Structure 1
Amino acid sequence: MTTFVEGPVRVSVPATSANLGPGFDSLGLALSMRDELEAEVTGSGLEVVVTGSGEGDVPLDESHLVVRSMRAAFGLAGVQPPGLRLSCTNVIPHARGLGSSSAAIVAGVVLARGLVAGGSLLVDDDALFRLAARIEGHPDNVAPAFYGGFVISGRDPGEGDFYAVRSSVDPRIEAVVLVPPTPVSTEVARGLLPAEVPHAAAAANAGRAALLVAALAGQPEQLLRGTRDYLHQDYRRPAMPESLALVDALRADGVPAIVSGAGPTVLAFADAPGAAGLLARRPDGWAAHHLTIDRDGARIV
């Protein structure tokens, strides 16, 4: 008979940046900004408390994304608890292209497995990742949120399995994220993309994505060239003109800058000494954070 662990389980999940320029829907990077969550099995009912980002906006019932993800993971383990208590301390900004929804999904599935006695034997890491990817609908953010580091992910043809392959990141590479005050939804950003692109643009983008993997692995001097995108960023300019203008200005100065995920956050790669200068490029009203690459992914704390 499946039983639950006594006392609360705590999990920490990193922010992520997907696409990274040319790696549309396939490349993702975990960053050192983390949400912290705690859950406990109770005798009945559901209690959800949220502080930080999303406080006062997200639902506090069964429709909460963390709760829905927990329910899915409990279902995969073949059990549902009589009651739940969930506390979320959110640092990752919502609807800014830093993977807040993926962090919530990954936190939920990891919490649920952690609350089930012997949960890792019932549901292994790969199965838990694939569940998270199905909930999100695509793996490019959930993969680095779950595994940490730099991850190449996708889905086999014909609604096949999701896959995720970790790749190395040069220890010199860090990041500065410049976060505007106004959100942009992923749905709006995706709605601006054309159904087709010219073959020449697709070929050029494939070359830059391959170069980006090599640049991140050990040739950071190639990051500017490797982050050049031909598939999505310019099409999204109407939804985030200030972000794309900042990307243009930074790249004109030789800085490998991109739109993070679906935007509107701007991510600029740098080494540690160069980060201070990038923080100073923060537009009025924006937030700025100097982050390192998170190597751990989701973890029970």
Structure 2
Amino acid sequence: MDFLPKDFSEYLELKGNRADFIQSWLLKQRVSSDKIVIGGKSHVLVQFAPAAYNPQYRIKTVIAHHDRAGEGPGANDNSAACFQLMQWAVSLSKYIGFHNVRIIFTDGEESGEKSGVVDQGAYSIASAFRRIGLSNDDVYVFDACGRGNIPVLAKTAFPSVSPKLNRQFYNLFSRTQDILRKTCPGRWMSLPVPYSDNASFLAQGIPAVAVTMLPAQEASVYAQTLFAKPELERLVMNSPGNAGLEDYLPYTWRLFHTQNDCKESLTSESFAVMKKILRTLADSKTYA
């Protein structure tokens, strides 16, 4: 498991405050951050120099939830993405020019799995964004990105009555497709995903997409199952907790919230692919 970041095992073993760990780890790498507590949830906002931002271009807010559910280690859900973004934050602190990236590690995503988006930690962040007028960011959520070699851009069903939000979302979705095409030509998919913080931002009228990873074989079988059972897409995106759908979902997702979501289940390819995706995302710029 040489591909795993140093301190990853320590992070998995934590029973306490993961937000404190993230801040301490970043500080050791000379990257500043602030803790934002909203509704009892501790979120971490990475701080970059003012020169990292150009107001002529859209801000890219990048999210990974740091909380975990149950007693499982949570290696893929969502420790891998947290460390991938932590390492990326170190790279961005040395970025030449502006990158317009804002990184937030959120708390409470797992609490909304069955009860709905309003109980997710990201919902409170999205609400705060809306209150202070930060509703024009492009939001990218990375969730379960430590297993597999195929990036999956989540299909999202949301009952928006706002033509503006629909337009913003599909523009962002299209730009994210371009990033994946550039990074992984012919090696990415768009599939329905039964989880993610992006729903919290969409519920607040803020465009947001979600990206995850799957092994190629699992992604292929899942796509074939969706083709054979057209009703499955709607069920996956709308069934709380995916009750009764487990047999149709990729094996990777069935590991969530179990002891098998451990570091041994992770793959080196995921970290290599994610590094490329994040580098391309940093370099991408869209006029505001």
Tell whether the structures are fold-level matches, with TM greater than 0.5: no
Q: Which has the larger radius of gyration?
A: 1
Which structure carries more strand by proportion? 1
Q: TM-score, normalised by structure 1?
A: 0.28
Which structure carries more helix by proportion? 2
Q: TM-score, normalised by structure 2?
A: 0.29
